[in-house]
Amino acid sequence: MYLVTGATGFIGSAVVRRLLARNQTVRVLSRPNSDHANIRSLNVEIFEGDVLSPGSIRDAVKGCEGVFHVAADYRLWTRYPSEMFKVNVEGTRNVIEIATEADVRRIVYTSSVAVLGNCEPGLGDEETPVRYEEMIGPYKQSKFRAEELVCQLIADRGAPVVIVNPSTPIGPHDIKPTPTGRMIVEAASGNMPAYVDTGLNIVHVDDVAEGHLLAFEKGTIGARYVLGGHNMALAQILTIISKKMGRRPPFIRVPHTAVMPIAYIVEGWARLFGGREPFVTVDGIRMARKMMFFSSAKAERDLGYTYRPAVKAINEAVSWFHDNGYVT
């Protein structure tokens, strides 16, 4: 039996589906008010609880062989950064400590390439040097501190953790959607006539999920593995999306400096009037100044990790968003 946190989310539900495809018994930890659309039709045992509620974690982890801690607060903007730190750092502490006390065989912790170094013009990987001061925004900062904490628990308490660092997953069941999913929706809807010069490492969410299972089976405790795909310029990504939708791809490249004032304005509006996360954020523009290119060579070599072509992942994501009413 396996416990999955964050199972109602994008990556977490993909991990659940991969486990079920292997005829494994799956238990999920879910907040009472979570949207269960991603797991409603799946044969899972649901434990109501929260990563900030140690008692609920203890109940859920009993009898489990392994834990996939996928739950995280993933947003590029928040009015309350302290809440993001609480979930991503203290929630991770709770899950890792309690699962270790329960003597589970192994824990896979879902980190992010956001905490890794970026070595333009080369590819970042698990060993690229990086400092906390280089982390842009509360999401990156909180995930950096969370991974630091995990490494400390491995060293001090013998926590049986393998760390995975997904890059930019896309695909079906992105119900929220994630920041990348929102970009795909806007582009597919014809709402992105221009773009900034940046790049991402694109990977299908199901390949990331399979990478989680490979890390559980073959990963070295204390090691981390980038789970990525193809490195692509944003212009390439938008061209594929536009072609899929039969639209003309955006051809205006906007300097980062031109977009930044807009980001400040929409963020200020959201802070004042309690709006949803802005589509354009100051931290997002700051991050876009670098090509977020990474290598999955270590996971390919040590875990047998593979990934499908990025064009297939993008087209499948566009189709799912279109078929489920996200694309206008």
Active site residues: 139
Please tell me what DSSP assigns to residue 34: S
What is the three-class DSSP state of 211? helix
User: Could you give the C-alpha distances from 167 to 27, 47, 158, 162, 205, in angstroms and in order?
Assistant: 26, 29, 27, 16, 10
Alpha-carbon gap, residue 47 to 27, rounded angstroms: 7
Alpha-carbon gap, residue 321 to 315, rounded angstroms: 10
| Nearest CA-CA partner of 118 in 108, 127, 107 | 127
Which residue in the block uniquely carries the two structure tokens 């008010």?
A: 33
Alpha-carbon gap, residue 262 to 275, rounded angstroms: 16
Q: Do residues 91 and 84 lie in contact, with contact meaning Cβ atoms separated by under 8 Å? A: no
